[in-house]
Structure 1
Amino acid sequence: MNLQTKYLGLTLKNPFVVGASPFCDNLTACRELEDAGAAAIVMHSFFEEQIEAENRALVHHLDTGTDSYSEASSFFPSYEDYHLGPNQYLRQLTRLRSLVDIPVIASLNGCHLGNWVGYAQQMEDAGAAAIELNLYQLPTDATVPADEVEAAMIEIVRTVTTAVRIPVAVKISPFHTSLPQFAATLVASGAAGLVLFNRFYQPDIDIRELEVIPQLKLSDSSELLLRLRWLSILSPELGADLACSGGVHSAEDAIKALLAGAQVVQVVSALLRHGPNHLRVLRTGLVQWMDEMEYDRVDRLRGAMNLSRCPDPAAHERANYLKILQSWRV
């Protein structure tokens, strides 16, 4: 059974990639993930705010006693709150790259052009096989038009992709007016692949203390449905690789994502719940299903249920919406 997969120009032994997560901070865990069958590992994000935090820390030590920026700085974590500072992140990337025999993909997270973009080159120098550019942005200013928000994202992609020789995948959200057009523009601007989708963490409210409480909830398989829809729509249209991120917990979930057109599936929440050995469960389930369905190569099933090859393309479009609504009876 041939599970070999091409993603971002990399030859992977199978389509299971460990997504951006705390695993990369633990070298022992990364070895366990590789032994369990991980085809690649994405490091957790390096944030543009970390550069700002480092600069604030430097100003603080050089100008102790001033408090001119205390209110603004309280909006972000302190420099010490980040697990890995800029230099530590690059050193960890180098260590991880020398420890495992699978590709290590660095991750950049930003929404404004700035000094942080230059770290893409340093990640390349540190041995990153590719970069995942996470455009985590939640617009809140009602005066900024949508096209301006997207234009800023596209400029970041263009800047980063021209700064490095290694491939860049762009992790996006589904919240765009014309997602196919935006995705195509990202690819035309240099993106070698897209990661679908970002998970926006939703804060809660403490009604006793009247405080906003950060919430981190792991994904479940129900989140896969949104990914399947857009994988099916985008995969026939884009000349770029697609990664499914969010909602892959079982072999069945992974199979669905591949049928919809994903090159790889990124797994995090399931591994945090069940440990690295869960990758063996996923791989075994995929192999068993392929054997039952008489697929000898994973490439043969990829995209078999996308919008252009699905026996019923309307199932992905408006007809399915109408059919579902009419199916309810009270």
Structure 2
Amino acid sequence: MDLKTTYLGLTLEHPLVPSAGPLTEKLDDLKRLEDAGAAAVVLHSLFEEQLRIESAELDYHLSHGVESYPEALTYFPEPSEFRLGPEDYLELIAGAKKALRIPVIASLNGSTLGGWTDYARKMQEAGADALELNIYNIPTDPDQSSAEIEDTYVEIVRAVRSAVTIPVAVKLSPFFTNFAHVAKRLVAAGANGLVLFNRFYQPDIDLETLEIRPNVLLSTPMAMRLPLRWIAILYGRLNASLAATSGVHRATDAIKLLMAGADVTMMCSALLRHGPQHLGTVKRDMIAWLEEHEYESVAQLKGSMSQKNCPDPSAFERAQYMRALTTYPVPPARGS
């Protein structure tokens, strides 16, 4: 069975890729994922806020008190000698490239246009095979228009694209007025791929302490329905790779997303629940399904049920929405 796929110009042995998360923070865990059969890995994200904080601390230590103490100018080491948090990330990239045989994709997470995007170049220099740009933004300003928000996304992608020559994928949320239009603009700005979709972690209220707490809930297979729809709609319309993330727990989830047009299917929650070895289970089940249904390769499967190739293209649009609502069975009244 030929499971090979191409993502961001990288040839992968199969389409199962661990996404950015707790299991991709340490080199030992990355080795475990490779041993379990990962086709590539996306490292955990380096955040814009980390880079801003480290830069501010560095400026403070280099300048604080220089006018009061003559020895201050020589007391602190040169900037190149500082051990900043982001430097550890670069070491992780370099270490992973040295230790692993599979592609290593770095992840840069931010929400505003700024100098932090220059760090993408350092990730490339450290050896990253590609970069996943995770733009995570929750607009709260009622005076900021949707056009302004979308323009910021485009400018961030352009800034990163101008800083690197390696492939760049953009991880997005689905909350745009016209997602297809935004996707087209980002590809035109230089994105080589789109990762659909980012999950917004919603806050919760602790009724005992009356504090707002972050609430991270692992995904379920139902979450794959949203990326499935949009990947199916975008397949064949954009000159870019498509990655599905969120809700990939079983071989059947991955197969459906590949049929919709995904080049790779990314996993996180399922691996946190079952461990890295779950990759092998999903891969074996995928091969069994393909053989049972007489497929010879993933390439033969890919995009076969996209909107472009589906016998009923309206299935991904409003007509199917109305059909679903009008045909759902109503339970009988009690006592009848």
How many positions carry a matched residue from both structures?
312
Match of 1:225 in 2: 225
Q: Deviations over 1:271-313 (max 9, x none)?
A: 1110111000110111111111111110010011000111221
Aligned pairs for 1:1-330 (under 5 A) are 1-58=1-58, 61=61, 85-328=85-328, 329=330
The root-mean-square deviation of aligned C-alpha atoms, in Å, is 1.5
Moved more, 51-60 or 20-29: 51-60
Q: Is the 8 A contact 2:18 2:267 kept in 1?
A: yes
- SS across alignment from 2:54: helix
- SS across alignment from 1:169: strand
- SS across alignment from 1:131: strand
Q: Deviations over 1:166-210 (max 9, x none)?
A: 000000010000111110110011000000000000000123322
Deviation of the 1:62 alpha carbon: 6.0
Partner Cα distance (1:64, 1:88) in 2: 25
Partner Cα distance (2:35, 2:151) in 1: 42
Partner Cα distance (1:206, 1:32) in 2: 36
Partner Cα distance (2:268, 2:209) in 1: 32
Moved more, 141-150 or 203-212: 203-212
Partner Cα distance (2:195, 2:276) in 1: 22
Read off the aligned partner of 1:321 and give its amino acid letter.
Y
What's the TM-score once normalised by structure 2's chain length? 0.90
Q: Deviations over 1:113-164 (max 9, x none)?
A: 2221111110000000000000101101000000001001101101111211
Q: Which runs of 5+ in 1 are unaligned?
A: 66-83
Q: Which runs of 5+ in 2 are unaligned?
A: 66-83, 332-336
Partner Cα distance (2:212, 2:28) in 1: 35
Q: Deviations over 1:51-80 (max 9, x none)?
A: 121134335656889xxxxxxxxxxxxxxx
Q: Is the 8 A contact 2:26 2:92 kept in 1?
A: no
Read off the aligned partner of 2:201 and give its amino acid letter.
Y
Read off the aligned partner of 1:133 and give its amino acid letter.
L
Q: Percent identity?
A: 51
Q: Deviations over 1:201-225 (max 9, x none)?
A: 0000123322111111111101011
- SS across alignment from 1:194: strand
Moved more, 157-166 or 189-198: 157-166
- SS across alignment from 1:222: helix
Larger Cα-atom Rg:
2
Partner Cα distance (2:33, 2:165) in 1: 27
Read off the aligned partner of 1:33 and give its amino acid letter.
L
Q: Deviations over 1:251-273 (max 9, x none)?
A: 01000110010000001110111
Partner Cα distance (2:158, 2:116) in 1: 14
Partner Cα distance (1:63, 1:168) in 2: 36
Partner Cα distance (2:215, 2:25) in 1: 21
Partner Cα distance (1:86, 1:29) in 2: 19
Partner Cα distance (1:316, 1:200) in 2: 23
- SS across alignment from 1:45: strand
